Structure 1
């Protein structure tokens, strides 16, 4: 039985009805619907135009819908990779929280995030993305591509230096924000972060920017100068993995980025998981300065995951690490698989020797600076005070006077604070354990010796709204002094990395040098004496990468920095630091036609 005849034009009308309901007209075979009469050519053309118009409208609608959803998704991701913060000092910040790869902040693929905690209050500041081994692969690939790309590889040294100078300018322009993040995340006094650390960061970048167009080889005379020519080229190493510590995040980043970029390398930088915030802000400034994508990449991540993957990655040609000696050993093992170029700046237990002919007051003041700066969280801290027995009593009195008159524990954002909290609960617990160990082993407690939480109290240093719940939950420890410490005690031998100093007497120069060298470490050492011959003699005998005479912990950007024994391998800063990021290639030219 034939279906009833339909009015003319039902085919296109039905198509429009289905289309209006969001249905695809192509799902229905309208050509099979009966019509009252066959359409003429003009009517057929009209119907075709209508159907085409409907199809185009549907396609545009679908495309717009997809684009809107995609745009919304991208916007959501971007917003999710930012934190809007108000710091305890009132500074408002928009902080990127992603991984910085190829000049973009992106999500990490690790199953967890890294939570940054204010050491002043124990409260969360914000969470940032964490890198997995897959993210390390992405960052290294970006750095390798940038190293091969003409936008960086073909850039003249002077142009590289100009980019670095621009970055130094941006650091200075944003010094308040950077210092705020450093203090909030690390606990160091804001006055120190702003007035010392940020000055050093900009200065280091400028110093190495000046080197960028002065890296060159040399022409070397040969046995047959008329027939043979020999010269060397200084070339960049390639992709450099740089793993920095939590005690001086921005300064250590500058120490490593400066020479690497000046020499034309590309970088994957991993900040410490305890203090990633200021480095993420710095990454945004790298992009703003105009560095090509992939030249500098920043990965937040755990050492055992992202750090291990970086150190062992076959695409990385150099690893530079600053941190503890045990971690340095693991870095070296991981890098050995592909014989990477390695620079390590690790632990220390630096001695400070005070001879009877020294200016005792001067020695006491420098000894205070050498151990109590940055809450004792300094790799070169002169934590072992070795004092000539005839002046032990005088020195102890002078040192305690300096300590009591100089220390002001409190909110690191307060102008008069000289001593903030330790960086983390783990560090706080470790230092208190060493204090109890020294007491139990018979050392004499001269000052401090306990938590300073009850002493600070008050409010400030809080969470991400800037309010906080008080400093009473912060990781504050009293500066602690032990005398009568013997070489067999843990506090004499082991790195505490906190505001704890020991005083040990010696009888003569020979014993002083023996006590100073009785350590697995050899980073720094200080000598106080008015006898210049003795000062030179002892400086030469000490097993240390750096020796300060009548001062402690002096550091200049142009002077090499590094240790011996288990305090590290290689040097940073100065021309020596730059050399660590170059390879020397020898080129031999035969000028003659004979063999």
Structure 2
């Protein structure tokens, strides 16, 4: 089996450590690839290449926006040509159903197309300023930040990579990129596409490895001008502290424990479907998963009867067979989720369905968990407070709108939240009170590359996607021009 390599300064190369890592398919536990395992020296080499490309060579940075856009559109075209291969790669590497991976590839292509179309549009502004200094012209321009380090998780391997790479490259930056060591394969294919599309050497660099040996170097390096990370809050806090080495810009998209508030006047069938999507899509491995169902007490019994009935019918299996729900990324993550389930039982929550590892048929050697629902939860329970990142739903009840809002906001996270009701005024009242960056009314989980993505509180710093996502990778420069002849202003008389 060939060793898949780093891409540094336009060259595919093995790591300087000489080590490798097996990539495991979570659907059956088998090795599907071997990748080079990088160390600090590889990370530093990539940073040096990106720094040279941005500050000395300046090929990408100084390229006209329309020319950068053309290359990004070429990336999108090549991705379209390889869409089936990219989707299959994510399915085998991550364990998700093939149709979900197809959706990820489609969204990733759209993201490159979007930023290619955005970067040649008007930007900046002109300001009416104080005339105390004489006639002045004041305006702003947007410039690339510089060397951007980017670190992504394993739950959406290709899509999360594109969410960061597309705006950073569109803005004219150079990047050093580390995908999750648990699911790096589609990102490797993406960098092959970058090379074919003609992105200049040193502009986009790929380093395969883990957080302590690669990610930490990115965060601490004084040659990195910005770092962005998607993953756990704990790791995000470490990165934010390490980034103070040179006070680099920081973008963090972190954990979530998002509420789905359901009122008694809802369309019951539709609300049940949205609840299913909110927690069982991608086997619950979604940062914005609505993992806390906060439901009006009067309809709880009827709602949960339908929800449990549907959850028990969810098909589970290898991603290439297109089941309703695929695998958990690693055996370690699966065991962590099972540990949370045990804590729910021990703390007094009522298990309505699931709660076990799934090992039927072809799933015997993979990492699967049954869709799990807990009733009679209280706000102090571990399964209600902590992000589980798996197919586990906690149910709480309310009787008043005020109580629903209080329960929804009773979390250290603030990534997402949803409300389901036929009362439009109530929906707006509640959604405006939710302390979260991404919210939905009468749905859960829709995401669009044109709209900003990010959270409040411990769910992160900054925004991805949309115009806001491009601005994250830019610096705003103020330029003031004296329009009068060069003569003294007359402030000083001596």
- Specify if TM > 0.5: yes
CA displacement at 1:226 relative to structure 2: 6.9
Give the whole-Å Cα distance in 2 for the aligned partners of 1:216 and 1:538.
35
Counterpart of 2:482 in structure 1 is 590
The answer (yes or no) to whether the contact 2:221–2:245 under 8 Å persists in 1 is: no
Distance in 2 (CA, whole Å) between partners of 1:473 and 1:130 is 26
Q: Distance in 2 between matches of 1:206 and 1:285?
A: 15
User: Residue 349 of structure 2 corresponds to which residue in structure 1?
Assistant: 443
1:186 pairs, out of 78, 84, 94, with 94
In the alignment, the residues of structure 2 paired with residue 215 and residue 183 of structure 1 have an alpha-carbon distance, to the nearest angstrom, of: 39
Match of 1:381 in 2: 289
Report deviation, 1:402.
Answer: 2.9
Correspondence for 1:142:
49
Cross-structure match for 1:502: 394
Query: Cα RMSD (Å) of the superposition?
Result: 1.3
Return the index of the structure with the highest Cα Rg.
Answer: 1
Give the C-alpha shift of residue 582 in structure 1.
0.5
Pairing 1:538–2:445 present: no
- In structure 1, the residue matched to 2:249 is 341
Of the three residues 520, 540, 556, the one matched with 2:448 is: 556
Q: Is the 8 A contact 1:215 1:234 kept in 2?
A: no
Spell out the pairing of 1:407-446 with structure 2 (5 A cutoff). Answer: 407-415=314-322, 417-446=323-352
Which of 353, 358, 373 pairs up with 2:261? 353
Q: Distance in 1 between matches of 2:394 and 2:269?
A: 18
* Bigger RCO of structures 1 and 2 (CA < 8 A, at least 6 apart): 2
Task: List, as ranges, runs of 4+ consecutive aligned residues in structure 1 with deviation greater than 3 Å.
Answer: none
What are the Cα deviations for residues 49-104 of structure 1, in whole angstroms up to 9, with x where unaligned?
A: xxxxxxxxxxxxxxxxxxxxxxxxxxxxxxxxx73xxxxxxxxxxxx711110121
1:210 paired residue among 117, 127, 134: 117
Separation in 2, partners of 1:302, 1:105 = 19
Q: 1:229 aligns with which of 137, 150, 154?
A: 137
Partner of 1:229, secondary structure, is strand
Cα deviation code 1:327-378 (max 9, x no counterpart): 0000101111211111100000000001112222211110100110101000
Distance (Å, rounded) in 2 between the aligned partners of 1:118 and 1:213: 41
Deviation per CA, 1:105-126, whole angstroms, max 9, x where unpaired?
1110125322211111112122
Counterpart of 2:24? 117
- Give the C-alpha shift of residue 401 in structure 1: 3.0
Report what 1:364 is aligned to. 272
Aligned to 2:492: none
| Cα distance between partner residues in 2 of 1:181 and 1:583 | 36
SS of the aligned residue for 1:202 comes to helix
Show the counterpart of 1:99: 6
Select the residue among 192, 195, 200 that pairs with 1:287: 195
The count of aligned residue pairs is 485
Q: In structure 1, the residue corresponding to 2:256 is in which secondary structure?
A: coil
Note if contact 1:215-1:263 (Cα within 8 Å) is conserved in structure 2. no
Match of 1:268 among 171, 176, 180: 176
Q: Deviations over 1:474-493 (max 9, x none)?
A: 00110111111111111011
**Alpha-carbon distance, 1:264 to partner:** 0.5
- Where do residues 219-258 of structure 1 align in structure 2 (5 Å cutoff)? 219-224=126-131, 227-258=135-166
1:396 to 272, 280, 304: 304
Q: Structure 1 residue 576 and structure 2 residue 468: aligned?
A: yes
Aligned residue number for residue 472 of structure 1: 364
Q: TM-score, normalised by structure 1?
A: 0.80
For each residue in 1:293-350, what CA deviation from the matched residue of structure 2 results, as whole angstroms up to 9, or x when unmatched?
0111111111111000011111110111000000000010111121111110000000
Q: Aligned to 2:336, what secondary structure does the other structure show?
A: helix
SS in structure 2 opposite 1:151?
Answer: coil
Query: How much does 1:215 deviate?
Result: 5.5
Structure 1 residues 446-492: Cα deviation after superposition (integer angstroms, max 9, x where no partner): 11110101x2x23xxxxxxxxxxxx3110011011111111111101
The question of whether the paired residues in 2 share the 8 Å contact of 1:198 and 1:251 is answered with: yes
Gaps of 5+ in 1: 1-81, 84-95, 459-470
Partners of 1:111 and 1:303 lie apart in 2 by: 18
- Aligned ranges 1:63-82 → 2 under 5 Å: none
Q: Distance in 1 between matches of 2:271 and 2:473?
A: 37
TM-score, normalised to structure 2's length? 0.96
